[in-house]
Amino acid sequence: MVKNRLVIQALKSNDNLKGVNTDALEGMLLYAFNGEDEVAPAQSLHGFAKTNPSLKFVGAITAEGEFLSADEVKGLAVLPGKNQMIAGLLNTLNSPVHGVMSGLGGNLHGLLQGLEAKAAK
């Protein structure tokens, strides 16, 4: 548990986060952090909120000091995670190479079958 005023003080003491709008930090709030994947806390809380509708997003604060609205956080929560996006990008980049290799392999296979058939006669 962290009091909102302590979070506000911590934000003011950080040079990157001094200008963050803290007006929405009122009432009982849950704070989630992740230093590795910026979207992971939003995804985890979004999944939890599906079964617990009393949990509502207020917003988020980015590492750059920007305050995101609840709708923006929900938009981030439905995106794939950082590792999933990297894997998808690598798969997309690898796809043409895989297609070329499959095509060459098929052509070589056909050539070998033709040579075997010729040798068998």
Dist. CA 86–CA 25, nearest whole Å: 33
* Position 59 confidence tier, pLDDT thresholds 50, 70, 90: confident
> Which residues make Cβ contacts (< 8 Å) with residue 46, sequence separation at least 6?
57, 74, 77, 78
Chain segment 72-116, per-residue pLDDT in tens: 988 888 888 778 888 988 888 888 777 777 776 767 777 778 788
Give the pLDDT confidence of 24-50 residue by residue, as tens digits: 888 888 888 888 878 888 888 888 988
